[in-house]
Structure 1
Amino acid sequence: MAKLAIFFALTLSFLPFLSHSFSPDTPTDRRILVLLDDFSLKSSHSIFFTSLKSRGFDLEFKLADDPKLALQRYGQYLYDGLVLFAPSVERFGGALDVAAVLDFVDSGHDLIVAADTTASDLIKSVATECGVDFDEEPSAMVIDHQNYAVSDVDGDHTLIAADELINSDVILGKTKIEAPVLFKGIAHSLNAANTLALKVLSASPSAYSAHPTAKLSSPPSLTGSAISLVSVVQARNNARIMISGSLDLFSNRYMKSSVQKAGSPSKYEKSGNEQFVTELSKWLFHERGHLKAGNLRHVKVGETNEPAMYRIKDDLEFYVDIYEWSGNSWEPYVADDVQVQFYMMSPYVLKTLSTDKKGLYHTSFKVPDVYGVFQFKVEYQKLGYTSLSLSKQVNSLFYQLLSLPLHP
């Protein structure tokens, strides 16, 4: 008589597969192509351009219809950012078209589009492809009979003193913008299907979009809070886009102008424009809100070296490092909402990570009583920050069969 003894030892072995999120080593010292309707904009908007240069950006100015325009050569991109200050251009020059601009963004590069009442179908098409729709009503402008600048008291109330700002320190900086932002331009709305677009500067509930001198024969199609004055988009590849309905928003004249909103006793010697566009451009060009993560690792509790395998119900510790670019250096990112999943088809373990506030995030948990193909996954998305996506695959050794002969 013989008996067969079968022992199942379920173990988890780790493969050397690690995926990282998009995260350039240093997101500064980059090249920006600035396309203009007219070279006079170099001087009329010089404060904005000087701010970029002072922060280490190399600007190249060209007319938007320059016949030699190109964003790449021999398959390599020549620039890291594109600024379109050419609202009236009907057709880009050279090798540049809407598809080329979109490919530029799809490749992880940043974009600023500024429009006004002269906005061409070309510029509107670029914005539409980014999930932002400009008002198609000819010569329509944003009008607000309650929140206009007092300097426009006898005018058509198209010079708006806007203060409906997004509440986000990472996008607009920690220093509050006290003075209203001067805006004169056209309205746009966000495509409802685009969940990646955000209003940064919104119109007030009393605003509407219409021809400023024509009588209204029907209600305006864009009114109140549906109107965005300035919007941003962060693509899934972490490329950033800024859309403004006003080119004057960036002008020296608006930045230096005093401002007082109608009905308000507060008068400011200087508008909020310079602070607004400077801080927003810091976010746009990844000087703020840019995260990198790496060094994902794991060990058995009480050990220091990563093991070749784990047995089910082993206690393990998980670690990952996360840093934020400060504009000059990588600094520890501190948050209490970073999580790790121990994932197979669905999360078997979901843990919020603790941090030592020096860049290290960690947790511990028990290996589930189940075999299969697992992954450690860190998927992090937070308003204004580049998203993180890291994973480390876990393979499973289903069982080990041992036959032990027994004597009768």
Structure 2
Amino acid sequence: MMMIKSIFVSFIIASVLLTSVFAEVGGKRTLVVLENLSQKNLYSTFFKTLEKKGYELDFQPATTEVVLEKYGDFNYDHLVLFAPTLESKTITSNAVLNFIDGGNNVLIAGSNKISETIRDIAQECGMDIEEDNTLVYDHFNYDKSQPDHSLLVADQFIQDSPIILQGLDKPVIYKGIGHKIRSNPLNFAVLTGSSTAYSGKKTNGASTKLMGKSCGLVSSLQARNNARVTFSGSIELFTDKSFGTTLEKNQSGNKEFVENLVSWTFQERGILRSSQLELVKISTESNSTVAPDVFTIKDEVSYSLKVEEYDGVKNEWVPYVSQIQLEVIMLDPYIRTFIKGDSKGIYKINIKLPDVYGVFTFEATVQKPGYGQLEHIIRKPIVPFRHDSYERFIPAAFPYYAACFSMIIGTFIFSIIFLFNKDPKHIQI
């Protein structure tokens, strides 16, 4: 009986550890919502790429009700919406937003007609989609083999966050609706129109809302809980036809663009974690370090933290070699500095604590475009000197010490003179 209990406990512990490992790097359960299941063949290359990576795809038509959450647990880790006319009877915008708030990822593709459900989701994620029956046109940067000027050759990729597209420089074929991205540090314009692009209807001409590089084609959101949302105004971007399109005898970059975009959206790159924190006091007398529970003002301390980045290709954690920001805060930051990491992802610095006592927060953060939010917080009390810890003699007070001792010596000499000197009035003649 005892053996059965031990085996059962070991099984439970192993299950919990295994679950925590998978939760740390993200799951593979993916729901794909299509207009109808017959369209699955249009994106066969895209879906096969996901299946090769181990994603478990569950295809559902937009005509049936979809349940993302049940009894507080999410049934999926990722959501792919290839149904631009999705209605609330299939899935509500609040359900998708709760799915994002739970730390899960969403990929949305649209067309020239977008339902209110998709618009509400995109608007909550910082993207305002153009009105229906509009397309993005460009009379200079379009596929010259086709007379359609809405078939764009787009190459205005994001520059300040190379981790998203990993340095892709091949232009892509794009045909779809445009959108405006809000000025928000959490939003990224992954692909925009060129300076000659504009959004409008073919019959009415250009729209005054979206013109030039402000016309978004593909945008993403990196939420504070590390959930990622990507919206593409073109569902044709993911089709097998666009993957095989040639531009001036060279194949388009749609396949590489989609693979890089989706791998980042599904958190295969740019996810950070921290470990091996060391906050110790540097002892000048013995030239050693100790880790007290309470620090004293003006202590010399050593702060060390290991930061790793998840590599979805190798399926392992690798050192994150860049820099992190460290703040020592009590209501306001008293110390703010940047630490550069070594080849092992170790960030170490020696700092002197402020001459203020209280409960301080040591907060290490990484806020880099395209990377997940990393915050490592530890709180430590800093106390004033004990009554016997102050210096006995302060060099700056030497003049006052001299004045004090001079008064003592002067009083002593005056006392001797006063006691041993005879009063002239009592001298007899």
TM-score, normalization by structure 1: 0.84
2:319 aligned with 1:332, yes or no? yes
Of 84, 89, 111, 1:87 maps to 84
Distance 1:219 1:123 in 2: 21
Q: 1:396 to 1:26 in 2, by over 3 A?
A: closer
Q: What's the counterpart of residue 11 of structure 1?
A: none
Q: Which amino acid aligns with 2:185?
A: T
Q: What's the counterpart of residue 33 of structure 1?
A: 31
When Rg is computed on C-alpha atoms for both structures, the one with the higher figure is 2
Q: Which amino acid aligns with 1:271?
A: S
Alignment of 1:302-341 (within 5 A): 302-327=287-312, 328-335=315-322, 337-341=323-327
Find the residue that maps to 1:338 and give its secondary structure.
strand
1:188–1:245 CA contact under 8 A, matched in 2: yes
Distance 1:29 1:42 in 2: 23
Q: What's the counterpart of residue 4 of structure 1?
A: none
- Of 297-306 and 73-82, the range deviating more from structure 2: 297-306
Q: What's the counterpart of residue 127 of structure 2?
A: 132
Q: 1:83 to 1:121 in 2, by over 3 A?
A: same
2:328–2:336 CA contact under 8 A, matched in 1: yes
Q: CA deviation at 1:162?
A: 0.5
2:221 aligned with 1:233, yes or no? yes
Identical residues among aligned pairs (%): 38
Q: CA deviation at 1:215?
A: 4.0
Distance 2:58 2:39 in 1: 13
Q: CA deviation at 1:24?
A: 7.2
Q: 1:317 to 1:401 in 2, by over 3 A?
A: closer
Distance 2:190 2:319 in 1: 27
2:358 aligned with 1:372, yes or no? yes
Of 200, 209, 222, 1:221 maps to 209
Q: CA deviation at 1:48?
A: 1.1
Q: What's the counterpart of residue 261 of structure 2?
A: 280
Q: Which amino acid aligns with 2:25?
A: P
Q: 1:31 to 1:304 in 2, by over 3 A?
A: farther
Q: CA deviation at 1:401?
A: 6.7
Find the residue that maps to 2:63 and give its secondary structure.
coil
Find the residue that maps to 2:25 and give its secondary structure.
coil
Q: Which amino acid aligns with 2:178?
A: A
Q: What's the counterpart of residue 359 of structure 1?
A: 345
Q: CA deviation at 1:352?
A: 2.1
Q: What's the counterpart of residue 380 of structure 2?
A: 394
Q: CA deviation at 1:400?
A: 5.5
2:142 aligned with 1:148, yes or no? yes
Of 165, 176, 180, 1:172 maps to 165
Q: CA deviation at 1:320?
A: 0.7
Q: CA deviation at 1:29?
A: 4.3
Q: What's the counterpart of residue 67 of structure 2?
A: 70
Find the residue that maps to 1:150 and give its secondary structure.
coil
| Structure 2: tracts of 5 or more residues without a match | 1-20, 389-429
Distance 2:23 2:289 in 1: 28
Find the residue that maps to 1:241 and give its secondary structure.
strand
Q: CA deviation at 1:396?
A: 3.8
Find the residue that maps to 1:101 and give its secondary structure.
helix
Q: 1:221 to 1:62 in 2, by over 3 A?
A: same
Q: Which amino acid aligns with 1:201?
A: L
Q: 1:287 to 1:219 in 2, by over 3 A?
A: closer
Distance 2:181 2:365 in 1: 26
Distance 1:279 1:73 in 2: 31
Q: CA deviation at 1:55?
A: 1.3
Q: How many residues align?
A: 362
Find the residue that maps to 1:379 and give its secondary structure.
strand
Q: Deviations over 1:136-183 (max 9, x none)?
A: 1x411111100011122x23x010010111123211114x332x1000
- Of 124-133 and 25-34, the range deviating more from structure 2: 25-34
2:298–2:354 CA contact under 8 A, matched in 1: yes
Of 98, 111, 122, 1:116 maps to 111
Q: 1:344 to 1:324 in 2, by over 3 A?
A: same
Structure 1 stretches of 4+ with a deviation exceeding 6 A read none
Distance 1:25 1:57 in 2: 15
Q: Which amino acid aligns with 2:48?
A: T
2:294–2:380 CA contact under 8 A, matched in 1: no
Q: What's the counterpart of residue 413 of structure 2?
A: none
1:82–1:110 CA contact under 8 A, matched in 2: yes
Q: Deviations over 1:170-229 (max 9, x none)?
A: 11114x332x1000110111134x3311110100111111112x143x753221111000
Q: CA deviation at 1:64?
A: 2.1
Q: What's the counterpart of residue 420 of structure 2?
A: none
Q: CA deviation at 1:40?
A: 2.2
| Structure 1: tracts of 5 or more residues without a match | 1-22, 261-266, 403-408
- Aligned-residue RMSD, C-alpha: 2.0
Q: Which amino acid aligns with 1:278?
A: E
Find the residue that maps to 1:307 and give its secondary structure.
coil
Q: What's the counterpart of residue 273 of structure 2?
A: 292
Q: CA deviation at 1:49?
A: 1.1
Q: Which amino acid aligns with 2:225?
A: N
Of 44, 54, 57, 2:55 maps to 57
Of 172, 186, 189, 1:196 maps to 186
Distance 2:204 2:75 in 1: 48
Q: What's the counterpart of residue 248 of structure 1?
A: 236
Q: What's the counterpart of residue 150 of structure 2?
A: 158
Q: CA deviation at 1:65?
A: 2.6
Q: 1:293 to 1:25 in 2, by over 3 A?
A: farther
Distance 2:246 2:357 in 1: 68
